[in-house]
Amino acid sequence: QSVLTQPPSASGTPGQRVTISCSGGSSNIGSNTINWYQQLPGTAPKLLIYNNNQRPSGVPDRFSASKSGTSASLAISGLQSEDEADYYCAAWDDSLNGWEFGGGTKLTVL
Amino acid sequence: QVQLVQSGPEVKKPGASVKVSCKASGYTFSAYYIHWVRQAPGQGLEWMGRINPNSGGTNYALKFQGRVTMTSDTSIGTAYMELRSLTSDDTAVYYCARLVVVPGAKWFDPWGQGTLVTVSS
């Protein structure tokens, strides 16, 4: 059972906008920044969003994220087939003194 | 470019140990912590611990304390993760990742390509 809670699945059609939520608590999301990682099938995770809402160079601006209190969300607009992947949120947990990942959300592009 | 390259797949018997390496390039190895994260088949990501290559200092997730040892060799820019007393539950892909830290934020980037460790009799 992950400390950070994500929906196990999400889906959308090409061009649509989808959002993925990540819910935590005061010791993780509530007091630390959150990051999002994209894991394409059969590959290692890749940094998608850092410091709550910052995109690394090379990540399309179709990807955006926000954080409020103990929850965060990732939004993907103009959905494309290549966005089909697993998405993970992650945050440091002050109580557990370690990194916590959400359980992951499998995004399907219909 | 900044890159982490891990050692190849391993097959181990229950009760054995495995040591995975992670070679860094494209940056000053001693300036960034290396973390280890594993992913069991079809499952999510699980943080195992980290090493400060500059000091050798380590912190391990409670679940792995007593069974894992993380080390580094700054002369060759390589970090290692050894896991002992393996069981089938340790079958997973093991990733190393560099921790980037700025005031008020930190994140993993990049990640190694992953090392599949299979535990089977």
Helix (H) or strand (E) holding B74: none
pLDDT per residue over B6-58, tens digit each?
A: 999 999 999 999 999 999 999 999 999 999 999 999 999 999 999 999 999 99
At residue A2 the predicted structure's pLDDT band, cuts being 50, 70 and 90, is confident
The closest CB to that of A51, out of B35, B59, B105, belongs to B105
Q: In Å, how far from its chain's centre is CA A52?
A: 10
pLDDT score of B9: 98
Q: For B42-70, b where at least 16 C-beta lie within 10 A, e where not — what string?
A: eebbbbbbbbbbeeeeeebbeebeeebbb
DSSP E strand boundaries for chain B = 3-6, 10-12, 18-25, 34-39, 45-51, 58-60, 68-73, 78-83, 92-102, 105-111, 115-119
pLDDT score of A1: 72
The closest CB to that of A47, out of B62, B109, B112, belongs to B109
pLDDT per residue over B57-116, tens digit each?
A: 999 999 999 999 999 999 999 999 999 999 999 999 999 999 999 999 999 999 999 999
The distance of B17 to chain A (nearest Cα, Å) reads 23
Q: Which of A60, A57, A68, A72 is closest to A7 using CA atoms?
A: A72
The mean pLDDT of A63-71, rounded to a whole number, is 98
Contact B44 A102 (CB under 8 A): yes
Chain B residues lying within 8 Å of A45, measured CB to CB: 37, 45, 95, 97, 108, 111
Distance CA A12, CA A16 (A): 6
Identify whether the C-beta of residue A13 lies closer than 8 Å to the C-beta of residue A33: no
Test the A interface: residue of B32, B107, B111, B115 with most A CBs within 10 Å = B107
Identify whether the C-beta of residue B68 lies closer than 8 Å to the C-beta of residue A98: no
The mean pLDDT of A2-19, rounded to a whole number, is 96
The three-class DSSP label of residue A91 is strand
The distance of B90 to chain A (nearest Cα, Å) reads 17
Long-range contacts of B118-121 (CB under 8 A, 24+ apart): B118/B9, B118/B10, B118/B11, B118/B12, B118/B91, B119/B11, B119/B12, B119/B13, B119/B14, B119/B16, B119/B86, B119/B87, B119/B88, B119/B89, B119/B90, B119/B91, B120/B11, B120/B12, B120/B13, B120/B14, B120/B88, B120/B91, B121/B13, B121/B14
